[in-house]
Amino acid sequence: MPPKKTAKKKTTKKHSRSVVQRKNTTIPISVFANVMKQIDAAAEKLHIDKSIMDFIKVPRRSTMMNLPVRMDDGSFKMFQAFRVQHSIARGPAKGGIRFHPNVSLDEVQALASWMTWKSAVVNIPFGGGKGGVVCDPTKMSEGELERTMRRYTADMIDLFGPDDDVPAPDVGTGPKTMAWFMDTYSMRENRSIPGVVTGKPINLGGSLGRNEATGRGVMLTTRSAAKHLGLDLATATASVQGFGNVGSISARLLHELGVKFTHVADVTGSITNSKGIDIPKLIKYVEKNKTVLGFPGTKECKPQDVLYAKVDILVPAALENQITEKNAGKVRARIIAEGANGPVTPEADVILAKNNIFVIPDILCNAGGVTVSYFEWVQNRIGYYWTEEEVNQRLEQKMDLAFEDVLKASKDNKTTMRIAAFIVAITRVVDVVKLRGIYS
């Protein structure tokens, strides 16, 4: 007898969601176009040959398929699916697979591009990739999710491999879905191949420290920014938009350094307490109640209050395009630590720079996740696994060095940290392209 399909409540436990929600519509601002603007702005500083830039800007391969999946009631449903490999110049394509109703080719291409630059900024030997399935995982049973992931893996299996394209979890997916991916791929090859995917359960070759890696990277780069600006984190204030994995973990780690959070938002609403919110207790509350609303000692506030609060640090850890030219002038934080991908548009960047707001760009700030994914891949390949302390130490070294590289590029080129991050990344990709040459 097929398992009964059970209704599921919306949850922020597994991933961040935006307070400014996307309904059943496309994203109003093209995130891929925004990436192109960011790349062009950095390229102007570098004076790179246009033909080389044309080669590294566009995705090398974009695959779109329709997946037939058997539902619990016996019917078949077609799900649109994507996999984009932006670049493999510096190594295998690397990037997550997201399950979300608003997945689009534009979004996946942008995210794949960001992965290329993110990997280059932290100087790990990966290119950029991304995948997605247009579905609503909150309305699907576990069996339906498993069949969807296995079908996705099987239909696109020729794209993947430890030396070709290594996926990971993303919005709407997690360790269990990566276990299904690994098993499906391994069954096709008739041997266990843990290095084909990262973000796996620990017992299947996952890395200790991976769950906290992205949030820890946010904390580490924020700490470096505070040191650069002379800000004492023990007396600093902050707000966080998005309280999923990235938002909650970065908030907890910053809270441990003494940062006082006065505003917190998730997909259900926003709360505030000028005296500070107990982040560890809030995390436990959200795990039980699936919302930040009603947390003792706080009151509900408007979603935009989280972005406009007068704090030292703002952590946008929800979805893209949250700070635009329409509202950037209202942001009063001293530091913006981009836990999400693309939360600030290029037009907003100009306004924030004029207002002397220090932005830690996403391709640096949230690169802790891909860095520890790289560590997991390395451990899978050598068959030797590190302690969590060793993983965290290696991550700290990588993130601190990457911040210093970007800060130096910012000073040398008299530009923002975002443009500097792209300068560092593009230079590393172009250097490899020139060394390898272009086969034709």
Distances (CA, A) of 189 to 178, 185, 195, 314: 17, 7, 13, 46
Distances (CA, A) of 284 to 13, 16, 240, 292: 10, 16, 17, 10
Q: Which amino acid is at 54?
A: D
Contacts of 185 (CB under 8 A, 6+ apart): 153, 157, 160, 193, 196, 197
The answer to whether residues 185 and 158 touch, using CB atoms and an 8 Å cutoff, is no
Q: Which amino acid is at 116?
A: T
Q: Tell me the pairing of strands 269-272 and 260-266.
A: antiparallel
Determine which one of 118, 130, 200, 260 is catalytic.
Answer: 130
Collapse the DSSP code of 213 into the 3-class scheme (helix H, G, I; strand E, B; otherwise coil) and give the result: helix
The answer to whether residues 365 and 338 touch, using CB atoms and an 8 Å cutoff, is yes
* Residue 323 DSSP one-character state: B
Structure tokens at 125: 């030997």
* Residue 206 DSSP one-character state: P
Structure tokens at 127: 């290119």
CA triple 197-201-203, angle to 5 deg: 110
The answer to whether residues 399 and 221 touch, using CB atoms and an 8 Å cutoff, is yes
| In the block, residue with structure tokens 């830039």 | 53
DSSP one-letter string for 137-195: GGGS-HHHHHHHHHHHHHHTGGG-BTTTEEEEE-TT--HHHHHHHHHHHHHHHTS--GG
What's the CA gap between 29 and 25, in Å, rounded?
Answer: 11
What's the CA gap between 256 and 220, in Å, rounded?
Answer: 12
The answer to whether residues 303 and 290 touch, using CB atoms and an 8 Å cutoff, is no
Q: Which amino acid is at 285?
A: Y
The answer to whether residues 89 and 429 touch, using CB atoms and an 8 Å cutoff, is yes
DSSP one-letter string for 357-421: -EEE-HHHHTTHHHHHHHHHHHHHHHT----HHHHHHHHHHHHHHHHHHHHHHHHHHT--HHHHH
What's the CA gap between 57 and 116, in Å, rounded?
Answer: 10
The answer to whether residues 298 and 6 touch, using CB atoms and an 8 Å cutoff, is no
Is 414 catalytic? The answer is no
Q: So which residues are the catalytic ones? A: 130
